[in-house]
Structure 1
């Protein structure tokens, strides 16, 4: 049977089968490659490559080509090829037949002129016509329709214009690059809880290519033959069969000549010449787990590691990225090199998240999500602007992006130690909702092990490191996660597949005893947070003294002996206690909201019923020598009992 291939005129016959494999779905786009028959075997591929090499070199011709064979085709029109069933030589279908109305899909067996002349008994045959029912059907164009979406490339622009009056003005912080640092993060409780905009890159400690960088430059620096994932904006679905060369050819068309609107939002350039020209903001590098915890000896070629730090995004005029939340709880930095972007943000409140989950992946996705939430905030970014989009609560900011002109953006995702509980929660949501692995943060669990190992080493140091409360809270969540991982290995009820997945994520080059490492990390984090006694043999009481545990619940303080552990003793300790005489005051009795009232206010004296107040204070002062001098710790406790008459 004759082998047929349909390809772009700009691709070579040698790569025909590769393009066909990459485009197995459908060809809704005039720029996508389509396989019209089953994939070729190895012999077919070699024959195609040999034919192209021997007959045309690099000019994409065939043995039947004439000087003006391709003059009627534009650079993005699909090319049909057919192979002789005897000699395996490949021909353009337009060069192989005289009747241009004849469809290649109808051919059963085809022979080239040379093979026909060698054996006159050979005949070109055609497939029998397919039986069709006379019953009328409504045909749906599934290739160009997704959840009710049409193929109109301008519909997003018209939709935004119709909603223009409903957008709330921007109210995110505008900061100077020099203000965006660790001190800001540690001193400002609101830091990294909402998007921020930095007008220029001055003070950010960031490196970017020159703003005259073109898409053709990107292709040359990364590699013209590198495949790239392209999104068809009309239906927000992938368009297969693209390379950076083909993408640059498309971008260089005048906007009016682009029959469809496409977008590139996932080209990761780490390890390329272009990647060497990009350096994320210093705050991002200071926080990024991959930068700070993944071993440098296990990055680069030949090693699998999370490559999500350096993305080059290339959008054309009127491109649109529909509502989404960035993967795996990661935060994002986003720098406009040239052009402009318009962001539309929805705050991730419980009600808005519920609306988003109801909208996502259903027939509602063809409607405007902004009509289902409390408000949509519009933010306009221009060339030179940088935005940082952090995590908030348990989900990221819901956002969509419009491109008013051809634009090049550099950005990346990063995970950090200030929001581990959120990151872990999103990871679990992604697992529970069966999000494909390609859309999750790569090697997330292994990264957590590397992070936990490094923090444990620091906490075990001669001079133990100190961390902000937010970091200690995050580290406790990290330690709990690692302990839950090793528990899967210890449980007989766990499946072998589950145990295998956990084992594969534990980096054996760094961690020899995962169970001991995870539990020691949790114990030391609790100790650093002041939740336990300094005595290793003492019972851990995270909820206060005298907590009674259920039978079988682990007590990780009592009797636990960690390898090479040497407790740090205090050289001197003084304890003082003082109990005041009871006094009578007036205060309101506890009502329905007594928990909130009595937690928020330390002194409830005022109008109300008489109440007898008894107060006791305890002070502990400890001192010890350190390598730098001495350390002094003062612990003050105050307890009150309130009794109404």
Structure 2
């Protein structure tokens, strides 16, 4: 039985006669179809009830379980069942109905009885409710409290780069170490290589092209929580109201239009398409109809004046492109420093969320965007958004290979703050496997590859993440193993342990590690970083069919040096601190209070060569080995 559904605001006949939104601008008002409430037939309607109908209110309908006829709930609920108590009759709502019959069906068969749902079990355990869709607790029903919270706050005016679209390229990202580390603004879309609908595109156009009856998640700005029961047709009706006629302030921030006629009108900037993992690494044969894949590239955001989206970081630390088609937006940014991210983690999902996050961080940067502006927001930047006038925005999210450490850090924060999977980046782990598999194949290619230091650092973080997934498969609980296994794309990754560990080994080798010393150090941004060995480093490679790159030739030499006598204190077996002390000693350091010790040394030299895709590689390693003997 279907109940509690809102019937269409336009009849199917009326919808069929509505011209295309892109051509309707040339028609006269008289040519537009007239749609009235009378087109929606309800047997229970009276002249009085029809006159009181408000087309902008959500109208609930209920269907008879026998004759399948639909009634307005306000028409059907005038006579609660006689078996209900007086208190229950006062609280007689559509949500409580289990089985419902219309008056003619009840008269035809008096044995039929309207039944109510059993009361839900209630837990005594106290819970804090959080609506992660808008990333804020719904604590106070006052849409203006956000503006009052901004009063007397200090903001730093932004000094973010204003760039020409033609300069926003992969080459810029590879050559400028600061590229994509803070937001940039492109004031005009020229040169960005993107496509957008015409500037006179309206919300009504969105509704017509996507579908009047398409459901849309609408956020109640007052509580920052989702308001159920909306369709695009209803949303378009609401937008057409004058601001003073809107009883509440609502906001749409999550309408993804991939695969719709609106999606056909939008193309992200070329830089975004060049970097986007979903665009470049998810198999094209597994996109489109009948395939589930991350659809986060094409969002249409529709906000009204005074709308507010509270502080948040885009899921999985994804970067964002954001184009103002019509209207204006005011952004408030917090830089993702370790201290600021820690403050955000403490604030998110707790009672602190009713306070101003800006008071817990070092500074808040204010940026105003106007019609025609495009902004690219890098990974991890915390932001809140105010809408001063009715606005339409097109934008999208993308993960990329220059920011993997930050992307994984934000994912950890999401897990620590218990963000439900519904509001995380869809199929994140599966996408990481596709990316890792492709990079591994490139690293193994005979031609060889080279990557900027930032990409190598990112690939190491990606490999470590995939190895951690493999460890869960090997040592985790049954539930954890199941969750990891479900995210491994078996069409590409046949042996996840082999892929993860060989990727890590090859990235370390490419970054400058000795091929026979996987765990000694890692070069990040061109700088060697020492780290402690772990149990994982001591494990032999477990992946199957692994063949490390062999040196084509190697020459080893060993020369004995002259013995010398110095004074030094013999290490005590009771004091373990001698190890650190002796590690730090160098040639020429002696302890005049110690005993004589004879030092013999030898110099070992290794020279090895091998062919590469660009020519050859020659490596010379020299080490001095000393043996100390006390007299």
Question: Which bracket does the TM-score occupy, shorter chain normalised?
Answer: 0.7 to 0.9
Residues in 2 aligned to 1:224 and 1:189: alpha-carbon distance in whole angstroms: 47
Tell me the equivalent position of 2:193. 205
The structure-2 alpha-carbon separation of the partners of 1:366 and 1:540, relative to structure 1 and needing over 3 Å to count, comes to closer
State the shift of 1:260 in Å: 0.4
Task: Quote the Cα distance in structure 2 between the aligned partners of 1:179 and 1:550.
Answer: 44
Aligned partners of 1:9 and 1:77 also within 8 Å = no
* Equivalent position of 1:527 in the other structure: 509
Q: State the distance in 2 between where 1:243 and 1:173 align.
A: 39
TM-score under structure 2 length normalisation: 0.73
Is 2:206 the counterpart of 1:224?
A: no
Contact 2:558–2:604 (8 Å) recurs in 1: yes
Counterpart of 2:43 in structure 1 is 63
Task: Give the Å deviation of 1:487.
Answer: 2.1
Q: 1:458 aligns with which of 432, 442, 448?
A: 442
Is the 8 Å Cα contact of residues 348 and 417 (structure 2) preserved in structure 1? no
Match of 1:204, SS state, is: coil
Q: Which residue of 2 aligns with 1:289?
A: 277
Equivalent pair of 2:301/2:394 in contact (CA under 8 Å): yes
Contact 1:623–1:633 (8 Å) recurs in 2: yes
For structure 1, list consecutive stretches of 5 or more residues without a partner in the other structure.
Answer: 14-55, 128-141, 580-616, 640-645
SS state at 1:211 partner = coil
Give the TM-score normalised by the residue count of structure 1.
0.71
What is the Cα deviation at residue 370 of structure 1? 2.5
2:24 match: none
| 8 Å CA contact retained: 1:313, 1:408 | yes
* Greater alpha carbon shift after TM alignment, 365-374 vs 329-338: 365-374
Are 2:363 and 1:375 aligned?
yes
Verify the 8 A CA contact 1:344 1:377 in the aligned structure 2. yes
1:472-621 mapped onto 2 (5 Å cutoff): 472-491=456-475, 494-533=476-515, 538-543=516-521, 553-556=537-540, 563=545, 565=547, 567=549, 569-570=551-552
Q: Partners in 1 of 2:238 and 2:496 — Cα distance?
A: 51
CA displacement, residues 398-451 of structure 1 (integer Å, 9 cap, x when unaligned): 211000111111111111111212222222332233210011111111111111
SS for the counterpart of 1:175 is coil
Local SS of the residue matching 2:274:
helix
Q: Describe the superposition over 1:275-323 as per-residue Cα deviations: whole angstroms up to 9, x where unpaired.
A: 1211111111111111110000001111111111111111011111111
- Please give the alpha-carbon distance, in whole angstroms, between the structure 2 residues aligned to 1:286 and 1:85: 54
Distance change (3 Å), C-alpha of 1:569 and 1:371: closer
Unaligned residue ranges in structure 2 (runs of 5+)? 13-35, 81-88, 117-129, 523-527, 562-602, 625-631
The secondary structure found in structure 2 opposite 1:334 is strand
Residues 519 and 556 in structure 1, CA contact (< 8 A), matched pair in contact too: no
How much has 1:150 moved relative to structure 2? 3.4
Could you say if the C-alpha distance between residues 76 and 495 of structure 1 is closer, same or farther in structure 2, counting changes exceeding 3 Å? same
CA offsets, 1:480-539, max 9 Å, x none? 221222222223xx2111111121111111121221122211121111112023xxxx34
Inter-CA distance 531–625: structure 2 relative to 1 (3 Å threshold):
closer
Match of 1:258 in 2: 246
1:190 maps to 2:178? yes
Indicate yes or no: 2:12 matched with 1:10.
no
Counterpart among 155, 167, 176 of residue 145 in structure 2:
155
Are 1:249 and 2:237 matched, yes or no? yes
CA RMSD of aligned residues (A): 4.2
Q: 1:172 to 1:575 in 2, by over 3 A?
A: farther
d(CA) in 2 for partners of 1:197 and 1:367? Answer: 29
Deviations 1:550-602 (A, max 9, x none): 77753557xx886374846557999999x9xxxxxxxxxxxxxxxxxxxxxxx
SS of 1:364's equivalent in the other structure is: helix
Aligned pair partner of 1:426 in 372, 387, 410: 410
SS at match of 1:70: helix
Partners of 1:369 and 1:179 in 2: CA distance? 34
> Do 1:231 and 1:263's aligned partners in 2 also have CA atoms closer than 8 Å?
yes
Kept in 2: contact 1:10–1:76 (CA 8 A) = no
SS of the residue corresponding to residue 381 of structure 1 reads strand
Distance 2:113 2:548 in 1: 87
SS of residue in 2 equivalent to 1:335 = strand
> What is the deviation of 1:67?
6.4
The answer to which of 560-569 and 264-273 deviates more is 560-569
Q: For the residues of structure 2 that align with 1:199 and 1:454, how far apart are their CA atoms? A: 36
Counterpart secondary structure, 1:353? helix
Corresponding pairs, count: 525
DSSP 3-state at the match of 2:538: coil
Is 1:412 the counterpart of 2:405 in the alignment?
no
Name the counterpart of 1:403: 387
Matched with 1:312 is 300
Matching residue within 413, 419, 443 for 1:435: 419
The Cα of 1:214 is off from its aligned counterpart by 0.6
Q: C-alpha displacement at 1:473, in angstroms?
A: 1.4
Deviates more, 1:76-85 or 1:517-526: 76-85
Query: What is the CA–CA distance in structure 1 between the aligned matches of 2:191 and 2:538, rounded to whole Å?
Result: 49
Question: How far 1:182 sits from its partner (Å)?
Answer: 1.4
Measure how far apart 1:386 and its partner are: 0.8
Worse-matched range after superposition: 561-570 or 209-218: 561-570
* Closer, same or farther: CA 520–76 of 1 in aligned 2, 3 Å: same
Rate the CA distance shift 1:216–1:638 in 2: closer, same or farther, 3 A: farther
